[in-house]
Protein backbone atom coordinates (compact mmCIF):
# COMPACT_ATOMS: atom_id res chain seq x y z
CA UNK A 1 0.00 0.00 0.00
CA UNK A 2 1.14 3.51 -0.73
CA UNK A 3 1.87 5.98 2.05
CA UNK A 4 -0.49 8.94 2.28
CA UNK A 5 0.59 12.51 2.93
CA UNK A 6 -1.14 15.70 3.93
CA UNK A 7 0.15 18.13 1.29
CA UNK A 8 -2.23 21.01 1.86
CA UNK A 9 -4.08 21.93 5.05
CA UNK A 10 -5.68 25.01 6.56
CA UNK A 11 -8.53 26.30 8.67
CA UNK A 12 -10.44 29.53 8.90
CA UNK A 13 -10.25 31.56 12.09
CA UNK A 14 -13.06 30.15 14.19
CA UNK A 15 -15.83 32.56 15.16
CA UNK A 16 -19.50 33.32 14.65
CA UNK A 17 -20.57 33.83 11.07
CA UNK A 18 -24.37 33.76 11.00
CA UNK A 19 -24.38 35.66 7.70
CA UNK A 20 -22.62 32.80 5.92
CA UNK A 21 -24.00 29.44 4.80
CA UNK A 22 -22.46 26.10 5.73
CA UNK A 23 -21.24 25.50 2.15
CA UNK A 24 -19.72 28.99 2.09
CA UNK A 25 -17.79 28.28 5.28
CA UNK A 26 -16.67 24.90 3.95
CA UNK A 27 -15.64 26.39 0.63
CA UNK A 28 -13.35 28.89 2.35
CA UNK A 29 -11.33 26.19 4.08
CA UNK A 30 -11.35 23.96 0.97
CA UNK A 31 -9.85 26.74 -1.14
CA UNK A 32 -7.32 27.63 1.57
CA UNK A 33 -6.15 24.00 1.71
CA UNK A 34 -5.88 23.88 -2.08
CA UNK A 35 -3.93 27.15 -2.07
CA UNK A 36 -1.64 25.75 0.61
CA UNK A 37 -0.36 23.20 -1.91
CA UNK A 38 -0.94 25.21 -5.10
CA UNK A 39 -3.65 22.93 -6.49
CA UNK A 40 -7.08 23.53 -8.01
CA UNK A 41 -10.36 21.73 -7.43
CA UNK A 42 -9.92 20.23 -10.91
CA UNK A 43 -6.91 18.30 -9.56
CA UNK A 44 -8.95 16.53 -6.86
CA UNK A 45 -10.21 12.95 -7.36
CA UNK A 46 -12.75 12.80 -4.51
CA UNK A 47 -14.22 14.86 -1.70
CA UNK A 48 -14.95 13.65 1.84
CA UNK A 49 -17.05 16.16 3.75
CA UNK A 50 -17.76 16.16 7.47
CA UNK A 51 -20.73 18.09 8.83
CA UNK A 52 -23.17 17.28 11.59
CA UNK A 53 -25.83 19.98 11.68
CA UNK A 54 -26.92 19.46 8.09
CA UNK A 55 -26.02 15.79 7.82
CA UNK A 56 -28.87 15.10 5.40
CA UNK A 57 -28.14 18.25 3.41
CA UNK A 58 -25.47 17.10 0.91
CA UNK A 59 -23.00 19.69 2.21
CA UNK A 60 -20.10 18.25 0.18
CA UNK A 61 -21.95 18.62 -3.08
CA UNK A 62 -23.04 22.13 -2.12
CA UNK A 63 -19.39 23.04 -1.51
CA UNK A 64 -18.55 21.84 -5.02
CA UNK A 65 -21.53 23.83 -6.29
CA UNK A 66 -19.62 26.85 -4.95
CA UNK A 67 -16.03 26.07 -5.93
CA UNK A 68 -16.23 23.73 -8.90
CA UNK A 69 -18.60 20.95 -9.97
CA UNK A 70 -16.17 18.51 -11.46
CA UNK A 71 -18.35 15.43 -11.04
CA UNK A 72 -16.03 13.70 -8.58
CA UNK A 73 -17.38 11.29 -5.95
CA UNK A 74 -18.52 13.01 -2.77
CA UNK A 75 -19.00 11.26 0.57
CA UNK A 76 -20.81 13.12 3.36
CA UNK A 77 -19.89 11.97 6.87
CA UNK A 78 -21.54 12.44 10.27
CA UNK A 79 -20.05 10.91 13.42
CA UNK A 80 -20.87 13.34 16.24
CA UNK A 81 -17.79 15.29 17.33
CA UNK A 82 -15.59 12.78 15.49
CA UNK A 83 -17.17 13.86 12.20
CA UNK A 84 -14.17 15.76 10.83
CA UNK A 85 -11.71 13.05 11.80
CA UNK A 86 -13.98 10.46 10.17
CA UNK A 87 -14.09 12.42 6.90
CA UNK A 88 -10.31 12.75 7.00
CA UNK A 89 -9.91 9.04 7.69
CA UNK A 90 -12.24 8.06 4.84
CA UNK A 91 -10.20 10.27 2.54
CA UNK A 92 -6.98 8.67 3.80
CA UNK A 93 -8.44 5.18 3.37
CA UNK A 94 -9.23 5.85 -0.29
CA UNK A 95 -5.65 6.93 -0.98
CA UNK A 96 -4.17 4.00 0.96
CA UNK A 97 -6.39 1.65 -1.02
CA UNK A 98 -5.00 3.07 -4.23
CA UNK A 99 -8.37 4.29 -5.48
CA UNK A 100 -7.31 7.93 -5.72
CA UNK A 101 -4.11 9.97 -5.76
CA UNK A 102 -5.40 13.32 -4.55
CA UNK A 103 -8.39 13.76 -2.30
CA UNK A 104 -9.88 16.61 -0.33
CA UNK A 105 -11.32 16.33 3.20
CA UNK A 106 -13.41 19.21 4.50
CA UNK A 107 -14.95 19.62 7.95
CA UNK A 108 -17.43 22.41 8.55
CA UNK A 109 -19.98 23.41 11.18
CA UNK A 110 -22.25 26.31 11.97
CA UNK A 111 -23.54 26.33 15.54
CA UNK A 112 -25.84 28.25 17.81
CA UNK A 113 -24.93 29.26 21.33
CA UNK A 114 -25.90 27.39 24.45
CA UNK A 115 -26.06 23.92 25.92
CA UNK A 116 -25.72 20.80 23.85
CA UNK A 117 -27.34 17.56 24.90
CA UNK A 118 -30.70 15.89 25.13
CA UNK A 119 -33.55 18.16 26.16
CA UNK A 120 -35.91 15.18 26.33
CA UNK A 121 -37.59 12.58 24.18
CA UNK A 122 -40.39 13.04 21.67
CA UNK A 123 -42.98 11.21 23.74
CA UNK A 124 -44.02 11.29 27.39
CA UNK A 125 -42.43 14.01 29.51
CA UNK A 126 -39.02 15.69 29.34
CA UNK A 127 -36.42 13.77 31.33
CA UNK A 128 -33.84 16.54 31.74
CA UNK A 129 -33.61 17.51 35.39
CA UNK A 130 -35.85 14.57 36.31
CA UNK A 131 -33.53 11.65 35.68
CA UNK A 132 -30.29 13.55 36.12
CA UNK A 133 -28.93 15.57 33.24
CA UNK A 134 -27.95 14.70 29.70
CA UNK A 135 -26.28 18.02 28.93
CA UNK A 136 -22.75 17.69 27.62
CA UNK A 137 -21.19 19.69 30.51
CA UNK A 138 -22.85 17.26 32.93
CA UNK A 139 -21.98 14.08 31.07
CA UNK A 140 -18.32 15.09 30.95
CA UNK A 141 -18.43 16.32 34.54
CA UNK A 142 -19.63 12.88 35.59
CA UNK A 143 -16.79 11.31 33.60
CA UNK A 144 -14.33 13.64 35.34
CA UNK A 145 -15.78 12.86 38.75
CA UNK A 146 -15.20 9.18 38.04
CA UNK A 147 -11.52 10.13 37.76
CA UNK A 148 -11.77 12.15 40.98
CA UNK A 149 -13.29 9.11 42.65
CA UNK A 150 -10.45 6.85 41.56
CA UNK A 151 -7.49 9.17 41.99
CA UNK A 152 -8.57 12.17 44.07
CA UNK A 153 -8.31 14.59 41.15
CA UNK A 154 -9.38 18.05 42.34
CA UNK A 155 -11.57 20.85 40.98
CA UNK A 156 -8.40 22.96 40.92
CA UNK A 157 -6.54 20.44 38.77
CA UNK A 158 -9.42 20.30 36.29
CA UNK A 159 -9.48 24.11 36.24
CA UNK A 160 -5.74 24.26 35.50
CA UNK A 161 -6.44 22.58 32.16
CA UNK A 162 -8.44 25.65 31.15
CA UNK A 163 -5.77 28.04 32.42
CA UNK A 164 -3.23 26.22 30.23
CA UNK A 165 -5.33 25.98 27.09
CA UNK A 166 -6.57 29.56 27.29
CA UNK A 167 -2.95 30.66 27.72
CA UNK A 168 -1.94 28.69 24.63
CA UNK A 169 -4.69 30.35 22.62
CA UNK A 170 -3.15 33.78 23.18
CA UNK A 171 -0.51 32.65 20.68
CA UNK A 172 -2.99 31.34 18.10
CA UNK A 173 -4.52 34.01 15.85
CA UNK A 174 -7.03 31.46 14.51
CA UNK A 175 -8.53 30.73 17.93
CA UNK A 176 -11.97 32.12 18.77
CA UNK A 177 -10.61 33.62 22.00
CA UNK A 178 -7.11 34.82 22.88
CA UNK A 179 -7.63 35.64 26.53
CA UNK A 180 -5.57 34.70 29.58
CA UNK A 181 -7.70 33.21 32.33
CA UNK A 182 -5.94 32.96 35.72
CA UNK A 183 -6.89 30.04 37.96
CA UNK A 184 -9.17 32.15 40.20
CA UNK A 185 -11.00 33.44 37.13
CA UNK A 186 -11.61 29.91 35.86
CA UNK A 187 -12.70 28.57 39.25
CA UNK A 188 -14.93 31.56 40.01
CA UNK A 189 -16.62 31.64 36.61
CA UNK A 190 -20.28 30.67 36.47
CA UNK A 191 -20.66 27.05 37.53
CA UNK A 192 -22.35 25.07 34.75
CA UNK A 193 -22.06 21.45 35.90
CA UNK A 194 -19.70 20.90 38.83
CA UNK A 195 -16.77 20.74 38.44
CA UNK A 196 -17.03 22.38 35.00
CA UNK A 197 -17.38 26.16 35.14
CA UNK A 198 -18.22 28.16 32.04
CA UNK A 199 -14.50 28.65 31.30
CA UNK A 200 -14.04 24.88 31.44
CA UNK A 201 -16.55 24.27 28.63
CA UNK A 202 -15.59 24.38 24.96
CA UNK A 203 -16.92 27.22 22.88
CA UNK A 204 -19.69 26.62 20.34
CA UNK A 205 -18.45 28.39 17.23
CA UNK A 206 -18.68 28.28 13.46
CA UNK A 207 -15.66 27.01 11.63
CA UNK A 208 -14.16 24.98 8.87
CA UNK A 209 -10.91 23.19 8.12
CA UNK A 210 -9.69 21.20 5.14
CA UNK A 211 -6.84 18.93 4.08
CA UNK A 212 -5.55 17.67 0.76
CA UNK A 213 -4.22 14.12 0.99
CA UNK A 214 -1.91 12.74 -1.69
CA UNK A 215 -0.41 9.36 -2.44
CA UNK A 216 3.38 9.29 -2.17
CA UNK A 217 3.78 9.00 -5.92
CA UNK A 218 1.58 12.02 -6.55
CA UNK A 219 3.18 14.10 -3.81
CA UNK A 220 6.62 13.45 -5.32
CA UNK A 221 5.40 14.04 -8.87
CA UNK A 222 3.96 17.42 -7.85
CA UNK A 223 7.09 18.38 -5.90
CA UNK A 224 5.10 18.70 -2.67
CA UNK A 225 7.22 16.57 -0.34
CA UNK A 226 9.01 19.58 1.19
CA UNK A 227 6.07 20.57 3.38
CA UNK A 228 4.30 17.22 3.32
CA UNK A 229 3.15 15.51 6.51
CA UNK A 230 3.03 11.73 6.53
CA UNK A 231 -0.02 10.03 8.03
CA UNK A 232 1.64 7.32 10.12
CA UNK A 233 -1.59 6.04 11.63
CA UNK A 234 -5.33 6.53 11.25
CA UNK A 235 -7.63 4.70 13.63
CA UNK A 236 -11.33 4.87 14.35
CA UNK A 237 -13.05 2.95 17.14
CA UNK A 238 -16.52 2.72 18.63
CA UNK A 239 -17.36 2.12 22.25
CA UNK A 240 -16.78 -1.44 23.47
CA UNK A 241 -19.38 -2.73 25.94
CA UNK A 242 -18.98 -1.44 29.48
CA UNK A 243 -21.26 -2.17 32.38
CA UNK A 244 -22.29 1.45 32.96
CA UNK A 245 -22.33 2.70 29.40
CA UNK A 246 -26.11 2.78 29.03
CA UNK A 247 -26.23 5.68 31.47
CA UNK A 248 -22.63 6.88 31.43
CA UNK A 249 -21.03 7.17 28.00
CA UNK A 250 -17.52 5.78 28.18
CA UNK A 251 -14.90 7.90 26.38
CA UNK A 252 -11.99 6.06 27.96
CA UNK A 253 -12.12 2.54 26.59
CA UNK A 254 -12.62 3.58 22.96
CA UNK A 255 -9.69 6.01 23.30
CA UNK A 256 -7.39 3.41 24.85
CA UNK A 257 -8.30 0.94 22.13
CA UNK A 258 -7.69 3.53 19.41
CA UNK A 259 -4.40 4.67 20.96
CA UNK A 260 -3.05 1.13 21.18
CA UNK A 261 -3.97 0.47 17.55
CA UNK A 262 -2.52 3.80 16.40
CA UNK A 263 0.80 3.30 18.17
CA UNK A 264 1.03 -0.18 16.69
CA UNK A 265 0.20 1.04 13.19
CA UNK A 266 2.79 3.82 13.45
CA UNK A 267 5.36 1.52 15.03
CA UNK A 268 6.04 3.91 17.88
CA UNK A 269 4.89 4.72 21.40
CA UNK A 270 3.67 7.67 23.42
CA UNK A 271 7.25 8.62 24.36
CA UNK A 272 7.94 9.33 20.69
CA UNK A 273 5.16 11.90 20.39
CA UNK A 274 6.19 15.57 20.50
CA UNK A 275 2.76 17.21 20.71
CA UNK A 276 -0.89 16.25 21.06
CA UNK A 277 -4.14 17.91 20.11
CA UNK A 278 -6.78 16.03 22.09
CA UNK A 279 -10.51 16.33 22.66
CA UNK A 280 -10.82 18.88 25.48
CA UNK A 281 -14.53 19.46 24.94
CA UNK A 282 -14.55 20.08 28.70
CA UNK A 283 -11.63 20.55 31.07
CA UNK A 284 -12.61 17.34 32.85
CA UNK A 285 -12.23 15.40 29.58
CA UNK A 286 -8.66 16.47 28.90
CA UNK A 287 -7.42 15.00 32.18
CA UNK A 288 -8.83 11.57 31.26
CA UNK A 289 -7.05 11.46 27.94
CA UNK A 290 -3.48 11.99 29.26
CA UNK A 291 -3.84 8.52 30.72
CA UNK A 292 -5.94 7.10 27.90
CA UNK A 293 -3.27 8.12 25.37
CA UNK A 294 -0.52 6.70 27.56
CA UNK A 295 1.49 9.89 28.08
CA UNK A 296 1.38 9.18 31.81
CA UNK A 297 0.39 6.32 34.06
CA UNK A 298 -3.10 5.85 35.45
CA UNK A 299 -3.73 8.32 38.24
CA UNK A 300 -0.94 10.68 37.18
CA UNK A 301 -2.97 13.11 35.05
CA UNK A 302 -3.55 15.60 37.85
CA UNK A 303 0.17 15.76 38.49
CA UNK A 304 0.83 16.23 34.77
CA UNK A 305 -1.15 19.45 34.74
CA UNK A 306 0.20 20.57 38.15
CA UNK A 307 3.77 20.16 36.95
CA UNK A 308 3.26 21.87 33.59
CA UNK A 309 4.36 18.81 31.65
CA UNK A 310 1.49 19.30 29.21
CA UNK A 311 2.06 23.04 28.70
CA UNK A 312 4.05 24.54 25.84
CA UNK A 313 7.69 24.06 26.83
CA UNK A 314 6.79 21.02 28.93
CA UNK A 315 7.59 17.36 28.31
CA UNK A 316 4.59 16.72 26.04
CA UNK A 317 2.62 19.86 25.13
CA UNK A 318 -1.12 19.25 24.80
CA UNK A 319 -3.52 21.54 22.94
CA UNK A 320 -1.07 24.31 22.12
CA UNK A 321 -3.73 25.61 19.71
CA UNK A 322 -5.84 26.59 22.70
CA UNK A 323 -7.87 23.43 22.29
CA UNK A 324 -11.60 23.20 21.94
CA UNK A 325 -11.83 25.19 25.17
CA UNK A 326 -10.45 28.34 23.60
CA UNK A 327 -9.94 27.82 19.89
CA UNK A 328 -13.56 26.68 19.72
CA UNK A 329 -15.36 23.48 18.83
CA UNK A 330 -17.27 23.57 15.54
CA UNK A 331 -18.22 19.90 15.73
CA UNK A 332 -17.65 18.77 12.14
CA UNK A 333 -14.53 20.91 11.66
CA UNK A 334 -12.70 20.01 14.86
CA UNK A 335 -11.12 16.75 13.67
CA UNK A 336 -9.50 18.41 10.66
CA UNK A 337 -8.59 21.59 12.54
CA UNK A 338 -6.45 19.51 14.89
CA UNK A 339 -4.76 17.89 11.87
CA UNK A 340 -4.01 21.46 10.72
CA UNK A 341 -2.56 22.37 14.09
CA UNK A 342 -0.25 19.37 14.35
CA UNK A 343 0.81 19.67 10.69
CA UNK A 344 1.67 23.33 11.22
CA UNK A 345 4.04 22.41 14.05
CA UNK A 346 5.61 19.56 12.08
CA UNK A 347 6.22 22.05 9.27
CA UNK A 348 7.82 24.45 11.73
CA UNK A 349 5.32 27.14 10.83
CA UNK A 350 3.47 27.61 14.15
CA UNK A 351 5.13 30.91 15.06
CA UNK A 352 5.02 31.94 18.71
CA UNK A 353 3.43 28.69 19.87
CA UNK A 354 5.78 26.42 17.89
CA UNK A 355 6.68 23.20 19.69
CA UNK A 356 10.40 23.11 19.06
CA UNK A 357 11.80 20.31 16.92
CA UNK A 358 8.37 18.71 16.62
CA UNK A 359 8.69 15.59 14.49
CA UNK A 360 5.70 13.46 15.47
CA UNK A 361 2.27 14.62 16.60
CA UNK A 362 -1.00 12.99 17.55
CA UNK A 363 -4.59 14.13 17.10
CA UNK A 364 -7.54 12.74 19.02
CA UNK A 365 -11.27 13.33 18.93
CA UNK A 366 -14.27 11.80 20.65
CA UNK A 367 -17.76 11.66 19.21
CA UNK A 368 -20.08 11.00 22.10
CA UNK A 369 -22.19 7.95 21.62
CA UNK A 370 -19.33 7.00 20.94
CA UNK A 371 -16.51 7.23 18.42
CA UNK A 372 -12.81 7.86 18.82
CA UNK A 373 -10.54 8.98 16.00
CA UNK A 374 -6.76 9.12 16.37
CA UNK A 375 -4.19 10.19 13.78
CA UNK A 376 -0.44 10.10 14.15
CA UNK A 377 1.40 12.47 11.84
CA UNK A 378 5.10 12.79 11.05
CA UNK A 379 7.14 15.39 9.28
CA UNK A 380 7.96 13.86 5.91
CA UNK A 381 11.54 13.19 4.90
CA UNK A 382 11.85 15.44 1.87
Partner 1 sequence: MSERPLPAVEYLKIPDDGDPYLEGSRCGSCGAVFLGERDYCSKCGARGGFSPITLSNTGSLYSYSIVHRSYPGIDVPYISAIVDLDGGGTVKGNLINIDPDPDKIEFGMPIEVVYDDALGRKDRDGNSYLSYFFQPR
- When asked if residue 132 is in the footprint of partner 1 (CB under 8 A), the reply is yes
Active site includes 81? yes
Give the range of 93-101, 146-154, 302-310, 355-363 binding partner 1 by CB under 8 A: 146-154
Selected from 97, 99, 119, 183, the binder of partner 1 by CB under 8 A is 119
* Residue 191 touches partner 1, criterion: CB under 8 A: yes
- Range 230-249, binding partner 1 (CB under 8 A): 241, 243-244, 246-248
Residue 130, C-beta contacts closer than 8 angstroms, at least 6 positions apart = none
Burial per residue of 237-253, b for 16 or more beta-carbon CB atoms within 10 angstroms, e otherwise:
bebeeeeeeeeebbbbb
Residue tagged active-site, from 279, 329, 345, 364: 329
How does DSSP classify residue 15? B
- Judged by CB under 8 A, does residue 135 bind partner 1? yes
Contact segment (CB under 8 A) with partner 1 among 20-28, 134-142, 214-222, 352-360 equals 134-142
Given a contact cutoff of 8 angstroms between Cβ atoms, the answer to whether 316 and 325 are in contact is: no
Q: How many residues bind partner 1 (CB under 8 A)?
A: 37
Asked if 296 is an active-site residue, the reply is: no
User: Which residues contact residue 382 at a Cβ distance below 8 angstroms, ignoring those fewer than 6 apart?
Assistant: 225, 226, 228
- Cα-Cα-Cα-Cα torsion 258, 264, 270, 273, nearest 10 degrees, comes to -100
366 sits in which H/E element: strand 360-367
- Looking at 87-95, 124-132, 220-228, 342-350, which segment touches partner 1 (CB under 8 A)? 124-132
Q: Are 336 and 51 in contact (CB under 8 A)?
A: no
Considering only 76, 169, 193, 363, the residue that binds partner 1 (CB under 8 A) is 193
**Helix, strand or coil for residue 349?**
coil
Stretch that binds partner 1, among 36-44, 184-192, 341-349, 368-376 (CB under 8 A): 184-192
User: Annotated catalytic residue: which of 77, 81, 296, 372?
Assistant: 81
DSSP 3-state assignment of 185? helix
CB 338 within 8 A of CB 4: no
Residues forming the active site: 81, 329
Site for partner 1, rule CB under 8 A: 115, 119, 123-133, 135, 137-138, 141-143, 145-146, 148-149, 155, 190-196, 241, 243-244, 246-248
Amino acid sequence: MTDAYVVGVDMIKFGRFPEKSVPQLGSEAALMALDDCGLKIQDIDALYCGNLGQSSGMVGQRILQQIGQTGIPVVNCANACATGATAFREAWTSVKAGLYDLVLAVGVEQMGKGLLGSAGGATGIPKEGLLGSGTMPTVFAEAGMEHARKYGTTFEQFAKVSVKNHHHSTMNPKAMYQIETPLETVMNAEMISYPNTKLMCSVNVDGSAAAVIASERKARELGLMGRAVKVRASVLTSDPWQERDLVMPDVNTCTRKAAAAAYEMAGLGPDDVDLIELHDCFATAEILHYENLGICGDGEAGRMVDDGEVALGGRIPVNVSGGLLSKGHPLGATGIANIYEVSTHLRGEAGQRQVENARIGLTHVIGLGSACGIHILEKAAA
